[in-house]
Amino acid sequence: MARRIQDRLVDFRRSLHRYPEPSWCEFLTTSRIVDEVEAIGVDELYIGTDALDPEARMGVPNDEELAQWHDRAADRGARADVLDAAAGGLTGLVAVLDRGPGPTVGLRIDIDALRQTESTADGHAPAAGGYRSKTEGVMHACGHDAHTTIGLGTLEAVAESDFSGTFVLFCQPAEEVVGGGRPMAARGHVDKLDHFLALHVGLGHPTGEVVAGADEALSVRQLAAEFAGESAHAGAEPEAGRNVMQAVATATSNLYGIPRNSGGLTRVNVGRADVGSAPNVIASEGRIELEVRGGNDDLREYVADHAYRTLDMAAEMHDCTVETETIATAPREDSNDSLRAVVGDVAVEVSNVDNVVSTAPLGVSEDATYLMRAAKEAGGDASFVVVGTDHPGGHHTATFDVDERTLGIGVDVLSATVERLGD
Amino acid sequence: MARRIQDRLVDFRRSLHRYPEPSWCEFLTTSRIVDEVEAIGVDELYIGTDALDPEARMGVPNDEELAQWHDRAADRGARADVLDAAAGGLTGLVAVLDRGPGPTVGLRIDIDALRQTESTADGHAPAAGGYRSKTEGVMHACGHDAHTTIGLGTLEAVAESDFSGTFVLFCQPAEEVVGGGRPMAARGHVDKLDHFLALHVGLGHPTGEVVAGADEALSVRQLAAEFAGESAHAGAEPEAGRNVMQAVATATSNLYGIPRNSGGLTRVNVGRADVGSAPNVIASEGRIELEVRGGNDDLREYVADHAYRTLDMAAEMHDCTVETETIATAPREDSNDSLRAVVGDVAVEVSNVDNVVSTAPLGVSEDATYLMRAAKEAGGDASFVVVGTDHPGGHHTATFDVDERTLGIGVDVLSATVERLGD
Amino acid sequence: MARRIQDRLVDFRRSLHRYPEPSWCEFLTTSRIVDEVEAIGVDELYIGTDALDPEARMGVPNDEELAQWHDRAADRGARADVLDAAAGGLTGLVAVLDRGPGPTVGLRIDIDALRQTESTADGHAPAAGGYRSKTEGVMHACGHDAHTTIGLGTLEAVAESDFSGTFVLFCQPAEEVVGGGRPMAARGHVDKLDHFLALHVGLGHPTGEVVAGADEALSVRQLAAEFAGESAHAGAEPEAGRNVMQAVATATSNLYGIPRNSGGLTRVNVGRADVGSAPNVIASEGRIELEVRGGNDDLREYVADHAYRTLDMAAEMHDCTVETETIATAPREDSNDSLRAVVGDVAVEVSNVDNVVSTAPLGVSEDATYLMRAAKEAGGDASFVVVGTDHPGGHHTATFDVDERTLGIGVDVLSATVERLGD
Amino acid sequence: MARRIQDRLVDFRRSLHRYPEPSWCEFLTTSRIVDEVEAIGVDELYIGTDALDPEARMGVPNDEELAQWHDRAADRGARADVLDAAAGGLTGLVAVLDRGPGPTVGLRIDIDALRQTESTADGHAPAAGGYRSKTEGVMHACGHDAHTTIGLGTLEAVAESDFSGTFVLFCQPAEEVVGGGRPMAARGHVDKLDHFLALHVGLGHPTGEVVAGADEALSVRQLAAEFAGESAHAGAEPEAGRNVMQAVATATSNLYGIPRNSGGLTRVNVGRADVGSAPNVIASEGRIELEVRGGNDDLREYVADHAYRTLDMAAEMHDCTVETETIATAPREDSNDSLRAVVGDVAVEVSNVDNVVSTAPLGVSEDATYLMRAAKEAGGDASFVVVGTDHPGGHHTATFDVDERTLGIGVDVLSATVERLGD
């Protein structure tokens, strides 16, 4: 890849890195992508309800928060037309490049950031290099800035190539809450594909390594549990309370103790708790957010069943009640050998790729699986491509960063794959 | 008490009830009290740093929150001079009525409200009567609106009586966080007293009952514990986290299990927890607020010692750290028999008082004990007077309310006591 | 008291101390008491089913254990006639001294020991003095050896006095499991009394202090909870187990967290757990023994209700079952002022008594309350007398011991009281 | 296999099944094996310290228990010479059949039973067939009766074949506590082998299936943790105790919450707890037995490190102490491809074998890994052979049983393998 292109990719990725937006709040990001897509030139562009089925969304923040981010994006220069279409959490887009007869090939990238405070350490390149997040408490800590950059780079490369067929770029919102894959699949653009590619960088694979078709995405279910009890003066009448704090503590300790399963990998995590009001009042309300995962959908539900029972019994033990609802889910869906083979064949020829792995366990959850499943059900094939990148901190941590050489490698692997798939 | 006066007291109490302000944020309340005090006419008026020692305050909210309430008070018509003096959480005041030679008698009332959402039930008189809190999430759920009303009514009654001596009204902020008694004691006005009275309504005593000098306030210490661990992707690398959520759950369960003590009453409560960020991230930060209480200061510290160890070990068990700091404390301080006797003698003669109890256990904590202790150390005596009131819901609950007949009874008991103590 | 008598009391107490027997297994002890009672000479002697109602017993060990202690007593020289009558856990006795017309006065002492290993420390007098328990794991750690000695000394003193009336000595088994009071009350001898005295030494009161009529015995309920789940290979199939160990741990942590009660003192303790089989097997069975106490019967049941719910929910949380049964209970029953006054008047005149307290909280549970209640219901009065004794270690600990001067004081106080009550 | 031989195998297995003996107590079992081995005729026979290094044993019961089983074996007719050699827990043996020049081939079988009460259900064949365990609470619930039978059947078959070389049969004790493999490896007989075979039946593989060389034995460490605190009267002085029961409950709940690891499989189980003495005494002593496992030795130690910290902090939280010691460990050691291939080639030709799997994860722990490791370090190769058997209940459960057709299949597969390996 020419040095000049690589420099442009780096600049663009850093500008995204500076302005991270959380799931369903990617208003500025969507606006900037629209700018780029229009500059490259596409034949169809779907935004708002044309890109997503609003009813199928999961994990959408409340209206107040959506409005706050919407306003902030406006302040930072987002386009009015995009803001209008995306209002209320209808972010992301689908762009179609029609290059004549031939197969239809899709690429899905995800665009949202995490609610994570970015490191200020000198050893953290974005901090040292001046492109650390300008929004405290939100951070591109999972590489979606790189994904977005690679996606746009691929669109540009395909547009400039002699690819024959149709290329569809899915810029999906809200992957971090595994909430955006389902509504984008439900809108139906993915049903027209012959081949579907999804992308992730890193995941423990070093720069120069490519996984042609990863498998074993963790099946996941995220839950919110709302506890209710009764408040009382903690000094004067401790016996009059029905203590949500004790219910939550008991639930939490026991959730982590859900038995492991010989059938495969399981996970459980309580990642958020907001309970009670003041030290002298028995807590009467509390909310926790948790997730269960499994090596497949059955294992996930094994953990979920235990979790429901644990929550119910912990509440009842302390004479409280609990209401549990699913925030988000994503299934496991593996790559097809047919498409994995094409990616592998292409990748070995890309410069700076020094190791191509046919498959590897994904190790995380992904709502790209909704799109993969839909594509496969409609008769296409699908592959989840991992482009390795050296990352100093782990995904979802304050010091996560990508090796920017990955940007060019990613564009080269994916655009060459798309071209190979064309007539 | 004349019907007209009673009506005025009720109106004033309801107007306070409508606009509750939490501890250290009583900007509007202080402004309104200044209006009333000036209307009655006093000889000296101390506000801001003249009323409180800022360094001795406990439980003060952060600047942002103080500013928010300060602005809200301004919007609601608080006086600029009071707002200036009270800025930064220097609420409350001390008013002095000099009526010639004779002893100096003090009365302390507290003026803050609780962070509690008020009931909207029809059976809840403030809701039915149209004077429910206009500030969602904050409520006079402990009767401090009645305290303030009775205090001002007493000032007026004393001013209109032939009392000889000096009467000092202490309008103390931040009792609910047991944070205002210490700084008000530290400013020294209480050291000049011969007799010190404090007031509470209700506490399980019905309308018509008066406790001449309550004892056994619970000694209390409120703590904040900040946990720190390390975040990690809960699906991909659970072993890389140092999980604050587990530390908090373990601490909480075990705090409630601190052994009872044969030496007397003990209490422990974790009333607030705010932990972690998102379901798919191992929680790396969390804060809990708790309190320990005892029948005396030693019992309180017995529980506190266990609590510190429990917090430390729970953190270390999960490879996390914890920093604990005291938010507030209040000691136990009992009433003097000398002053209790005077109150009792007076109270039996007050109309609508049908039962006078010499003493009773207070059953709650109170930072009036700082003022009682200071008064006693300076050579005066002190008594904590409880004026009974029928209250449908318990203190600190959404349906707490006072029987408004108590307002007149309180004014009568206290003003008569002050007059009796004068020359 | 003459030196010679005091020496005999000491010798007898030490011989009892050497051969402690647990509740319902006091075969040797009963035999030795029968010897002493016969030597003193009584008019009626009730043993076995004539002393107790077998159906009303609580906390009886299984047949195997009873047989083991029965055999051991035989080996150590217990009388065959007593062993026959007491077989199967019918220990203890009632002795009646008929001294002509006059009131009937009863004294109850308890005779059993605890399952506690006695200290071997040089500082522990029984170890240094050569009369440490000869039965490892069982110990007179609550002073019942002293009670028995004082009871027999009192019988002897009354027999040698000019008391007119009837004196009944109740030697009750199984107090430590609060299991012997109810069946002895049910047999009816206590219904004939005009006055009923019960005795305890120590309880924090020093040598020379006497409590004429203690009150506030803790109401108690002891429970056994049997958990059942399902075993599985902990390595191969962790998901196949239903884990009793987790259920028990969760129950235990939460039992200690049952809220305190503003109505008075509460207690909870899980004192025994026996769970599972081997480290590599998911535990499928477990038994815990716990107790709940309250300042009165209602408070006890408040804790019990929470305990039942906690046990049920902990079991269900881990897909296990639990069966709970009451091992033993004892109510609260206070002393009568009438009898307390007599004891107090007598005690102040006893040599070596330097402080007589009219009443004090008992602070422990006692199944003498069954006998007190029965005596009162039949028209008599009752008092629970505490004879102070300096004790180095606390009751129920390995270094508990009595000050042997207490033996003579106890005999003097009680025999003088009985004589005073006679015509 | 001839019907007559199969019948003899079944009879022998059932006779072993009737008299199970736990780890290190296999006195009768060893005696019976010696009888059989002598009947078959071997050239060398090592028992007692000639078979095991006593210092390297793990998980040996106390002397009293060893003596009890030693006596029971004598009562049931065990040989005096064997009892003498095996006294003190030196059970098991090594038998050598020298058949001239050629390689040395070893086979290890394990002979102990589990502390598990056997089912009495009609559907449980041993119960219905009259060969249920005659020792209540001990059961061959893992098929070691079948292992022993197959081992002896193989010895007989090899003795009767034209195998040239040396065949060594290792009858290892104490596999269930993973305690016998290390001392048998330490004695050195295994160092002389060219090929080492180990055997297990079942493990989820059905009758007719053979795994030629299983891998991925779980690395295991079993721990005992002894807690010490201080007892106190739970009613009178709850604050005076240092409560081991609370420490154990907290440790247990948190042990099950040790984070999963993305590096591979982990396990943790607390399988046994024995805590405290009586419901009215704060527990001052307690012992738990637990185990940690991992997909490899590093993962095992990851869990172990967390377990040590959890135990320490739980104890310290409740002001108790804890001493932890390793009861037993076993590493992971995989099969060699070279030997696996031989077994596979042989097995496909055995009648009644309908499916040969080259390898499979073992899914359990095994101290045969000590012998495998020693054999490999001395230059030989090793394979862990699984002979499938339909088993109604899971391993280590009350209804475990083997399909007796497996006995003949096992003898055929192993004897044919030994013969193939000979010159």
Q: What are the structure tokens assigned to B351, written together?
A: 């109309």
A394, B293, C361, D245, D277 from B318: Cα distances, Å: 19, 27, 43, 20, 30
Q: Nearest C-alpha of chain B: how many angstroms from A266? A: 9
Question: Is there a contact between C413 and C205 (Cβ–Cβ < 8 Å)?
Answer: no
Give per-residue burial for B196-217: e unless 16+ CB within 10 Å, then b. bbbbbbbbbbebbbbbbbbbbb
Q: How confident is the model at residue D396 (pLDDT cuts 50, 70, 90)?
A: confident
Say if the Cβ atoms of B257 and D238 lie within 8 Å. no
Q: Which residues of A touch C260 (CB under 8 A)?
A: 238-239
- For an interface test with B, the pick among D250, D261, D303 (most B C-beta atoms closer than 10 Å) comes out as D250
D317 touches chain C (CB under 8 A): no
Tell me what the mean pLDDT of segment D294-307 comes to. 97
Q: Where are the beta strands (DSSP E) in B331-378?
A: 355-357
DSSP helix/strand/coil, C174: coil
pLDDT band at D113 (very low <50, low <70, confident <90, very high): very high
What token pair was written down for B189?
Answer: 């006005």
Residue corresponding to tokens 């049931």: D76
How many whole angstroms from its chain centre is CA A303?
22
Q: SS3 of C417, please?
A: helix
Q: Which amino acid is at A166?
A: T
Count of beta carbons in the 10 Å neighbourhood of residue C219:
26
Q: Which of D179, D113, D120 is nearest to D141 (CA)?
A: D113
Q: Using CB atoms and an 8 Å cut-off, which of residues 194-233 of chain B contact chain A?
A: 203-204, 218, 220, 222-223, 230-233
CB pair distance less than 8 Å for B278 and A115: yes
pLDDT at A410: 98
Cα–Cα distances (Å) from C133 to B120, B128, C17, C140, in that order, read: 68, 73, 6, 8
- Bridge-based pairing state of the strands A381-387 and A219-228: unpaired
ipTM value of the model?
A: 0.86
Q: How many CB atoms are closer than 10 A to CB A41?
A: 11
pLDDT in tens, C315-336: 999 999 999 999 999 999 999 9
Domain locations in chain B as residue ranges = 3-217+333-421, 225-329
Q: How many angstroms away from the CA of A236 is the closest CA of chain C?
A: 6
Strand partners, D263: none
Q: Which residue has the higher pLDDT, D5 or A357?
A: A357
Q: Does A296 touch chain C (CB under 8 A)?
A: no
When pLDDT is averaged across residues D141-158 and rounded to a whole number, the result is 97
Q: pLDDT at residue C2 above 70? A: no
pLDDT computed for residue C377 by the predictor:
97
Instruction: Compare CB distances from B267 to C257, C260, C266 and report the shortest one's residue.
Output: C260
Rounded-to-integer distance, Cα A372 and Cα A336, Å: 10
Chain position carrying tokens 């690398």: B237
Beta bridge pairs of residue D268: D292
User: What pLDDT is stored for residue D298 in this prediction?
Assistant: 97
Token pair belonging to D166: 């040396």
Contact residues on chain D for A253, CB-CB shorter than 8 A:
253-254, 257
* CA–CA gap between residue D391 and residue D407 (Å, rounded): 13
* Average pLDDT score over chain B: 96
Instruction: Encode pLDDT of D57-79 as tens digits.
Output: 999 999 999 999 999 999 999 99
Nearest CB to A245: which of B252, B277, B327?
A: B252
Taking the Cβ of residue B253 and every Cβ of chain D, the question of whether any pair is shorter than 8 Å is answered with yes
Q: Are the beta carbons of D153 and D411 closer than 8 angstroms?
A: yes
Number of neighbours of residue B116 by Cβ within 10 angstroms: 25
How high is the pLDDT of residue D106?
Answer: 98
The nearest alpha carbon in chain D to A256 belongs to D257
H or E element, residue C336 = none
- Our CA-based measurement puts residue B251 at a distance from the nearest CA of chain D, in whole angstroms, of 9
Exposure letters D30-53 (e unless 16+ CB within 10 A, then b)? bbbbbebbeebebeeebbbeebbe
List of chain C residues whose C-beta atoms are within 8 Å of the C-beta of residue B257: 253, 256-257
CA distance B9 to D264: 72
User: 């196949």: which residue's tokens?
Assistant: C240
DSSP SS3 for A320: coil
CATH topology of domain A222-329: Alpha-Beta Plaits (3.30.70)
Give the gap in angstroms from C-alpha B318 to the nearest C-alpha of chain C. Answer: 18
Please say if the pLDDT value at position C3 is more than 70: no
Nearest-angstrom CA–CA distance, B104 and B196: 9
> From 3.40.640.10, 3.90.1150.10, 3.30.1330.60, 3.30.70.360, which CATH number describes the C219-329 domain?
3.30.70.360
CATH 3.40.50.720 fits D3-217+333-421, yes or no: no
The verdict on D266 touching A (C-beta cutoff 8 Å) is yes
Count of residues making up chain D: 423
Q: Which two tokens stand for residue A350?
A: 């890309």
| Gap between the Cα atoms of C33 and C105, Å rounded | 20
Q: Which chains touch A (3+ CB pairs under 8 A)? A: B, C, D
List the single residue in C203, C233, C249 with the smallest CB-CB distance to D395: C233
| B21 phi, psi to nearest 5 deg | -135, 140
Tell me the mean pLDDT in the region B319-328.
96
* Closest-CA distance of chain C to residue A322, Å: 14
> Which residues in B lie closer than 8 A to residue D253 (C-beta atoms)?
250, 253
Q: D410 by DSSP, 3-state: which?
A: helix
Tens of each residue's pLDDT in chain A, 423 residues: 556 778 899 999 999 999 999 999 999 999 999 999 999 999 999 999 999 999 999 999 999 999 999 999 999 999 999 999 999 999 999 999 999 999 999 999 999 999 889 999 999 999 999 999 999 999 999 999 999 999 999 999 999 999 999 999 999 999 999 999 999 999 999 999 999 999 999 999 999 999 999 999 999 999 999 999 998 989 989 999 999 999 999 999 999 999 999 999 999 999 999 999 989 999 999 999 999 999 999 999 999 999 999 999 999 999 999 999 999 999 999 999 999 999 999 999 999 999 999 999 998 899 999 999 999 999 999 999 999 999 998 888 899 999 999 999 999 999 999 999 998
Within 345-364 of B, beta carbons closer than 8 Å to C belong to 363
Phi, psi of C28 (to 5 degrees): -65, -40
C280 vs B: CB within 8 A? no
Query: Strand order of the sheet with strand B165-172?
Result: B44-47, B93-99, B165-172, B104-110, B195-201, B381-387, B209-211, B355-357
Residue type at A405 in one-letter notation: R
Instruction: Tell whether C411 is within 8 A of chain D (Cβ).
Output: no
Min CA distance, C257 vs chain A (Å)?
A: 8
- The answer, for A263 touching chain C at a CB cutoff of 8 Å, is yes
Helix or strand holding residue D272 (H, E): strand D266-276
* Ramachandran bin of D20, using left for φ above 0, alpha for ψ from -120 to 50, beta for the remaining angles: beta
A302 close contact with C: CB closer than 8 A: yes
The per-residue pLDDT for range D30-54, each reduced to its tens digit, is 999 999 999 999 999 999 999 999 9
| A&C contacts, CB < 8 Å | 60
**Chain C contacts in chain D segment 109-148 (CB below 8 A):** 114-116
Q: Is B265 on the interface with C (CB under 8 A)?
A: yes
Interatomic CA distance for residues A316 and A309, integer angstroms: 11
| Nearest CB partner across the interface for C240, out of D177, D203, D394 | D394
Contact of C326 with chain D, judged by CB distance below 8 Å, is answered with no
Q: Does C263 touch chain A (CB under 8 A)?
A: yes
C257 to chain A: closest CA residue: A246
Q: B319 — contact with chain D (CB < 8 Å)?
A: yes
Give the residue among B221, B222, B275 at the shortest CA–CA distance from B250: B275
d(CA C20, CA C27) in angstroms, rounded, equals: 10
Q: Which pLDDT belongs to residue B364?
A: 87
- Model confidence at B263, in pLDDT bands (50, 70, 90)? very high
Quick check: A395 contacting B, CB < 8 Å? Answer: yes
Residue A398's nearest CA partner among D53, C186, B282, D260 is: B282
pLDDT, tens digit (0-9, with 9 covering 90-100), for B194-245:
999 999 999 999 999 999 999 999 999 999 999 999 999 899 899 999 999 9
Å between D205 CA and nearest CA of chain C: 13
**Among all residues of chain D, which has the CA nearest to that of C142?**
D233
| CATH architecture group of domain B225-329 | 2-Layer Sandwich (3.30)
Å between C25 CA and nearest CA of chain D: 16
List the single residue in A with minimal CA-CA distance to C243. A259
Of D179, D141, D185, D171, give the one whose Cα is nearest residue D61.
Answer: D179
What part of D 34-93 touches C (C-beta under 8 Å)?
A: none
Other Cβ atoms less than 10 A from the Cβ of A13: the count is 25
What order of strands is seen across the sheet that includes strand B285-294? A321-330, A219-228, A285-294, A266-276, B266-276, B285-294, B219-228, B321-330
Strand locations in D311-389 (E): 321-330, 355-357, 381-387
Contacts of C216 in chain B (CB under 8 A): none
Contacts of C316 (CB under 8 A, 6+ apart): A309, A313
What are the C-alpha distances in Å from A31 to residues A38, A189, B61? 11, 21, 39
Span C306-312, mean pLDDT? 98
Which pTM does this prediction carry? 0.89
Look at residue B249 and tell me whether its pLDDT is greater than 90. Answer: yes
What's the farthest any 2 CA atoms get from each other in chain A?
A: 79
Q: Is the pLDDT of residue B3 over 70?
A: no
**A262 contacts C236? CB cut-off 8 A:** yes
Q: What one-letter code names the amino acid at C395?
A: H
In the predicted structure, residue D315 carries a pLDDT above the cut 60: yes
Query: How many Cβ atoms sit within 10 Å of the Cβ of residue C256?
Result: 25
Residues in chain C within 8 Å Cβ distance of B271: none
List all residues 6 or more positions away from B11 whose beta carbon is below 8 Å from its beta carbon.
none
CA C373/CA C73 separation, integer angstroms: 33
Contact (CB, 8 A) for C401 and C14: no
d(CA A384, CA A147): 13
